[in-house]
Amino acid sequence: MIQLENNCGGQNHRRISYQRLISVVISVLSAVISLWLLNFGEAHAALIQKPATNLGLVGYWSMNEGTGSYAGDSSGNKNTGTLVNGPTWVDGKRGKALNFDGVDDYVDAGSNSITGTSPFTLSAWFNARTHTDYGVAVSIGTENANGQAAYIGWVTTAQIGTNNSLGGGWWGTNYGSGITSSGWHHVVMTFAGGSGGATKIYVDNVEKVSTAFTPNLGTQKIQFGLRTVYEFNGLIDEVRIYNRVLSATEIQALYKSGAATVGKTTKIHKDITLN
């Protein structure tokens, strides 16, 4: 409601004009926001939610370059990934992704800073093709010794869980989720740290494995798409590594942000002129 004041000099008229202008602007903005929200579909409007936390973020590779021989690290820690033997850029889960042939291509993102029994979280979206052996999508540490490397990817023989399914684990100790379907899946591995620390595997925001382990992570490598002879065949996108355990709520936020899809947008054809 606009109230008039009995004063001179036309000040009340200017006040009325300003109030009307503000009212119109607010109405227009509300309409535009409503139109966008109506077109987000089944994504829980995740694209406009608070972004995933960066606390403890060691590396974040969105894979959105779409060209070139490097995958940039958006965490600010300068863990730039170098493309080796020609993984190719393709459309991904969010923006672009990297396509790995399952033969010899991979990404080298430098040395691993999460060592010994330190806590961590590995997170990535990937779309795995058929595997006849292990396929390492994301790994940290030093291979060839039990517990010195951790990974997420395709598990052939699981010490805990289901063989031949998405999962992860340690060098020599593997956990299978039971998820075998093709298409994009969000896979997360968390380790609480210390001797006998809690280790969990999540697939698509559902906890699939919960166990305990004592690792001895080495400093050798951060790699995507390959570990020694265990080549990953498929697409990898949105890789994140943390030096802490993400909570179930934080994992859900990562899953929703990646699962979000934008529906058909509505264009406002008529220009609005405010006088």
Tens of pLDDT, residues 114-173:
999 999 999 999 999 988 899 999 999 998 788 899 999 999 999 999 999 999 999 999
Strand partners, 97: 90
Distances (CA, A) of 117 to 53, 188, 196, 225: 23, 18, 9, 24
Beta strands in the chain (DSSP E): 57-61, 70-71, 81-84, 88-91, 96-101, 106-108, 120-128, 135-141, 149-155, 160-161, 165-170, 173-176, 185-191, 197-203, 206-213, 221-224, 233-242
Residue 139 is predicted with a pLDDT of 97
Percent of the chain scoring above 70 in pLDDT: 75
Q: Is 181 exposed, middle or buried (0-12, 13-18, 19+ CB in 10 A)?
A: exposed
Q: Give φ, ψ of 139 to 5 degrees.
A: -145, 150
Cα–Cα distance for residue pair 37/260, rounded to 1 Å = 13
**Per-residue model confidence as pLDDT tens digits over 67-101:** 999 999 999 999 999 999 999 999 999 999 999 99
Res 228: pLDDT: 81
> Cα–Cα distance between 57 and 240 in angstroms, integer?
7
CATH number of the domain located at residue range(s) 47-259 in this protein: 2.60.120.200
80: Cβ contacts below 8 Å, ≥ 6 apart: 70, 71, 72, 73, 109, 110
Query: Which of 39, 51, 52, 63 is closest to 261 using CA atoms?
Result: 39
User: Considering the entire predicted model, what is its pTM?
Assistant: 0.77
Q: Is 252 helix (H, G, I), strand (E, B) or coil?
A: helix
Note the pLDDT of residue 131: 87
Domain ranges of the chain: 9-39, 47-259
Please, what is the average pLDDT of the chain? 83
| CA-based nearest residue to 94, from 256, 207, 266, 265 | 256
The single-letter DSSP state of residue 37 is: H
Tokens 């990953």 appear where? 232
Please tell me the distance from the alpha carbon of residue 198 to that of residue 72, in angstroms, as a whole number: 31
**200 backbone dihedrals φ, ψ, rounded to 5°:** -135, 150
Predicted confidence band of residue 52 (pLDDT cuts 50, 70, 90): low
**Dihedral (Cα; 216, 222, 228, 234), 10-degree rounding:** 130
Output DSSP code: residue 48.
G
